[in-house]
Amino acid sequence: MPVFRLSRRLIFPPVEMSEESGLLAVGGDLSPERLILAYEQGIFPWYAEGDPILWWSPDPRFVLFPEKLKVTRSMGQTLKKNLFTVTCDRNFRDVMEGCREPRKDKGGSWITDEMIHAYSHLHKMGLAHSVEVWMKAELVGGLYGVSLGKCFFGESMFTRVSNASKAALIVLTRTLQNLGFVLIDCQVYTDHLRTLGAEMISRPLFLDILKGAVHKQTYQGNWNKMEVFHENHKS
Protein backbone atom coordinates (compact mmCIF):
# COMPACT_ATOMS: atom_id res chain seq x y z
CA MET A 1 0.00 0.00 0.00
CA PRO A 2 1.57 3.37 -1.01
CA VAL A 3 2.23 5.88 1.74
CA PHE A 4 -0.18 8.83 1.68
CA ARG A 5 1.47 12.14 0.75
CA LEU A 6 0.10 15.12 2.64
CA SER A 7 -0.66 18.44 1.01
CA ARG A 8 -1.38 21.80 2.64
CA ARG A 9 -4.87 20.60 3.51
CA LEU A 10 -5.36 19.71 7.19
CA ILE A 11 -6.29 16.09 6.61
CA PHE A 12 -4.90 12.65 7.38
CA PRO A 13 -5.87 9.37 5.79
CA PRO A 14 -7.60 6.71 7.94
CA VAL A 15 -5.02 5.09 10.20
CA GLU A 16 -6.03 1.69 8.81
CA MET A 17 -4.13 2.74 5.66
CA SER A 18 -0.80 2.63 7.50
CA GLU A 19 1.91 0.18 6.54
CA GLU A 20 2.73 -2.80 8.74
CA SER A 21 5.49 -0.70 10.32
CA GLY A 22 2.92 1.90 11.34
CA LEU A 23 3.99 4.49 8.76
CA LEU A 24 0.88 6.30 7.56
CA ALA A 25 1.83 9.47 5.69
CA VAL A 26 4.70 11.70 4.60
CA GLY A 27 5.00 15.46 4.22
CA GLY A 28 2.85 18.27 5.52
CA ASP A 29 4.12 20.50 8.30
CA LEU A 30 4.36 20.75 12.08
CA SER A 31 1.88 23.56 12.53
CA PRO A 32 -0.07 23.54 15.81
CA GLU A 33 -3.29 22.80 13.92
CA ARG A 34 -1.84 19.75 12.15
CA LEU A 35 -0.16 18.41 15.29
CA ILE A 36 -3.36 18.70 17.33
CA LEU A 37 -5.34 16.99 14.57
CA ALA A 38 -2.76 14.22 14.41
CA TYR A 39 -2.82 13.50 18.14
CA GLU A 40 -6.62 13.53 18.19
CA GLN A 41 -6.54 10.77 15.56
CA GLY A 42 -3.80 8.69 17.19
CA ILE A 43 -1.04 9.83 14.82
CA PHE A 44 2.39 11.27 15.67
CA PRO A 45 5.44 12.61 13.75
CA TRP A 46 8.76 10.77 13.91
CA TYR A 47 11.57 11.27 11.43
CA ALA A 48 15.30 11.88 11.18
CA GLU A 49 17.12 15.14 10.49
CA GLY A 50 17.12 15.88 6.77
CA ASP A 51 14.21 13.54 5.99
CA PRO A 52 10.64 14.58 5.14
CA ILE A 53 8.15 14.55 8.01
CA LEU A 54 6.87 11.01 8.61
CA TRP A 55 3.56 10.32 10.38
CA TRP A 56 2.92 7.10 12.30
CA SER A 57 0.07 5.11 13.82
CA PRO A 58 1.49 1.74 14.92
CA ASP A 59 -0.50 -1.37 15.73
CA PRO A 60 -0.23 -2.51 18.46
CA ARG A 61 0.18 0.66 20.53
CA PHE A 62 2.31 0.98 23.67
CA VAL A 63 0.42 2.76 26.47
CA LEU A 64 0.47 3.25 30.22
CA PHE A 65 -2.82 3.33 32.10
CA PRO A 66 -2.11 5.63 35.08
CA GLU A 67 -3.78 3.27 37.57
CA LYS A 68 -1.44 0.46 36.42
CA LEU A 69 1.77 2.33 37.23
CA LYS A 70 4.36 0.03 38.79
CA VAL A 71 6.85 1.46 41.26
CA THR A 72 9.43 -1.03 42.48
CA ARG A 73 10.38 -1.13 46.12
CA SER A 74 13.86 0.18 45.35
CA MET A 75 12.47 3.05 43.27
CA GLY A 76 10.01 3.89 46.02
CA GLN A 77 12.87 4.09 48.48
CA THR A 78 14.81 6.31 46.09
CA LEU A 79 11.90 8.75 45.88
CA LYS A 80 11.56 8.83 49.67
CA LYS A 81 15.17 9.91 50.02
CA ASN A 82 14.22 13.22 48.34
CA LEU A 83 17.33 13.12 46.16
CA PHE A 84 15.37 14.81 43.39
CA THR A 85 13.28 17.93 43.07
CA VAL A 86 10.61 17.59 40.39
CA THR A 87 9.05 20.54 38.60
CA CYS A 88 6.73 20.95 35.63
CA ASP A 89 6.78 23.45 32.76
CA ARG A 90 9.77 25.26 34.19
CA ASN A 91 12.37 24.59 31.46
CA PHE A 92 10.55 23.13 28.46
CA ARG A 93 13.18 23.85 25.84
CA ASP A 94 16.02 22.58 28.05
CA VAL A 95 14.13 19.31 28.48
CA MET A 96 13.73 18.95 24.72
CA GLU A 97 17.43 19.66 24.29
CA GLY A 98 18.18 17.02 26.90
CA CYS A 99 16.00 14.52 25.07
CA ARG A 100 17.91 14.99 21.85
CA GLU A 101 21.34 14.44 23.39
CA PRO A 102 23.12 11.45 21.78
CA ARG A 103 22.50 8.19 23.62
CA LYS A 104 24.80 5.22 23.95
CA ASP A 105 24.69 2.94 20.90
CA LYS A 106 21.80 4.89 19.34
CA GLY A 107 23.48 7.48 17.12
CA GLY A 108 21.78 10.77 16.39
CA SER A 109 18.43 12.04 17.62
CA TRP A 110 15.12 12.39 15.79
CA ILE A 111 14.38 15.61 17.69
CA THR A 112 15.20 18.21 15.06
CA ASP A 113 15.34 22.00 15.32
CA GLU A 114 11.98 21.97 13.51
CA MET A 115 10.57 19.71 16.22
CA ILE A 116 11.85 21.92 19.01
CA HIS A 117 10.31 25.00 17.39
CA ALA A 118 6.96 23.27 16.82
CA TYR A 119 6.58 21.80 20.30
CA SER A 120 7.81 24.99 21.96
CA HIS A 121 4.91 26.69 20.16
CA LEU A 122 2.50 24.11 21.58
CA HIS A 123 4.05 24.70 25.00
CA LYS A 124 3.36 28.43 24.74
CA MET A 125 -0.24 27.50 23.90
CA GLY A 126 -0.40 25.47 27.14
CA LEU A 127 -0.75 22.12 25.34
CA ALA A 128 2.79 20.72 25.51
CA HIS A 129 4.36 20.14 28.91
CA SER A 130 7.70 19.23 30.42
CA VAL A 131 8.64 17.54 33.67
CA GLU A 132 12.07 18.45 35.03
CA VAL A 133 14.12 16.51 37.57
CA TRP A 134 16.78 18.38 39.50
CA MET A 135 19.63 17.52 41.86
CA LYS A 136 20.22 20.80 43.64
CA ALA A 137 20.35 23.32 40.76
CA GLU A 138 21.31 20.83 38.03
CA LEU A 139 18.82 19.45 35.50
CA VAL A 140 19.45 15.70 35.54
CA GLY A 141 16.42 14.28 33.74
CA GLY A 142 12.95 14.87 32.44
CA LEU A 143 10.33 14.24 29.81
CA TYR A 144 7.92 16.13 27.58
CA GLY A 145 4.69 15.49 25.74
CA VAL A 146 1.32 16.83 24.64
CA SER A 147 -1.90 16.87 26.67
CA LEU A 148 -5.36 16.85 25.09
CA GLY A 149 -8.49 16.04 27.06
CA LYS A 150 -7.73 13.18 29.44
CA CYS A 151 -4.80 11.83 27.41
CA PHE A 152 -1.10 12.58 27.68
CA PHE A 153 0.99 11.82 24.61
CA GLY A 154 4.53 11.16 25.76
CA GLU A 155 7.19 12.18 23.26
CA SER A 156 10.59 11.59 24.82
CA MET A 157 12.51 11.41 28.08
CA PHE A 158 16.14 11.64 29.16
CA THR A 159 18.30 10.98 32.17
CA ARG A 160 21.77 12.08 33.19
CA VAL A 161 21.80 10.24 36.52
CA SER A 162 20.28 6.92 37.50
CA ASN A 163 16.47 6.91 38.00
CA ALA A 164 15.92 10.57 37.08
CA SER A 165 13.62 9.86 34.11
CA LYS A 166 11.74 7.26 36.15
CA ALA A 167 11.14 9.86 38.85
CA ALA A 168 9.76 12.24 36.22
CA LEU A 169 7.34 9.65 34.84
CA ILE A 170 6.20 8.44 38.25
CA VAL A 171 5.38 11.93 39.51
CA LEU A 172 3.64 12.79 36.25
CA THR A 173 1.64 9.56 36.19
CA ARG A 174 0.44 9.95 39.77
CA THR A 175 -0.60 13.51 38.97
CA LEU A 176 -2.48 12.46 35.86
CA GLN A 177 -4.24 9.68 37.74
CA ASN A 178 -5.47 12.15 40.35
CA LEU A 179 -6.73 14.38 37.53
CA GLY A 180 -8.71 11.54 36.00
CA PHE A 181 -6.54 10.96 32.94
CA VAL A 182 -7.36 7.80 31.03
CA LEU A 183 -4.00 6.93 29.47
CA ILE A 184 -0.46 7.94 28.64
CA ASP A 185 0.47 7.20 25.05
CA CYS A 186 4.00 5.80 24.98
CA GLN A 187 3.80 5.16 21.22
CA VAL A 188 6.34 2.35 20.74
CA TYR A 189 7.69 -0.38 23.02
CA THR A 190 10.68 0.10 25.33
CA ASP A 191 11.88 -2.17 28.13
CA HIS A 192 12.33 0.89 30.33
CA LEU A 193 8.63 1.82 30.21
CA ARG A 194 7.47 -1.79 30.44
CA THR A 195 9.04 -2.04 33.89
CA LEU A 196 6.86 0.91 34.94
CA GLY A 197 3.66 -0.77 33.82
CA ALA A 198 3.28 0.18 30.16
CA GLU A 199 1.65 -2.42 27.93
CA MET A 200 0.74 -3.18 24.35
CA ILE A 201 -2.87 -2.81 23.24
CA SER A 202 -4.43 -3.10 19.79
CA ARG A 203 -4.80 0.03 17.70
CA PRO A 204 -8.61 -0.33 17.54
CA LEU A 205 -8.77 -0.43 21.35
CA PHE A 206 -6.39 2.52 21.59
CA LEU A 207 -8.47 4.56 19.17
CA ASP A 208 -11.68 3.68 20.99
CA ILE A 209 -10.22 4.87 24.31
CA LEU A 210 -8.75 7.95 22.64
CA LYS A 211 -12.06 8.91 21.05
CA GLY A 212 -13.81 8.93 24.42
CA ALA A 213 -11.09 10.85 26.26
CA VAL A 214 -9.42 13.35 23.96
CA HIS A 215 -12.33 15.79 23.74
CA LYS A 216 -12.85 16.09 27.49
CA GLN A 217 -11.62 19.15 29.38
CA THR A 218 -7.98 19.93 28.62
CA TYR A 219 -5.82 21.19 31.48
CA GLN A 220 -4.29 24.00 29.45
CA GLY A 221 -1.63 26.35 30.78
CA ASN A 222 1.36 26.06 33.09
CA TRP A 223 1.11 22.80 35.02
CA ASN A 224 3.64 23.89 37.63
CA LYS A 225 0.83 25.97 39.12
CA MET A 226 -1.31 22.88 39.77
CA GLU A 227 -1.47 22.02 43.46
CA VAL A 228 -2.03 18.35 42.68
CA PHE A 229 1.33 18.19 40.88
CA HIS A 230 3.22 19.35 43.96
CA GLU A 231 1.29 16.91 46.16
CA ASN A 232 2.65 14.03 44.09
CA HIS A 233 6.14 15.45 43.90
CA LYS A 234 6.97 14.40 47.46
CA SER A 235 5.26 10.99 47.43
pLDDT per residue over 63-95, tens digit each? Answer: 999 999 999 999 999 999 989 999 999 999 999
Average pLDDT (148-168) is 97
> Which pLDDT score is estimated for 235?
43
pLDDT digits (tens, 9 = 90+) for 33-66: 999 999 999 999 999 988 999 999 999 999 999 9
pTM of structure: 0.94
> Which pLDDT score is estimated for 22?
97
Q: Which domains does the chain have, with CATH numbers?
A: 4-58 (3.30.70.3550), 62-233 (3.40.630.70)
What band does 228 get if pLDDT is binned at 50, 70 and 90? low
pLDDT digits (tens, 9 = 90+) for 196-213: 999 999 999 999 999 999
Residue 166 CB neighbours (<10 A): 23
What's the mean pLDDT when you consider all of the chain? 93
Nearest alpha carbon to residue 169 among 143, 189, 197: 143
Residue 41 vs residue 8, higher pLDDT: 41
Respond yes or no on whether the N-terminal peptide bond of residue 60 is cis (omega within 30° of 0). yes
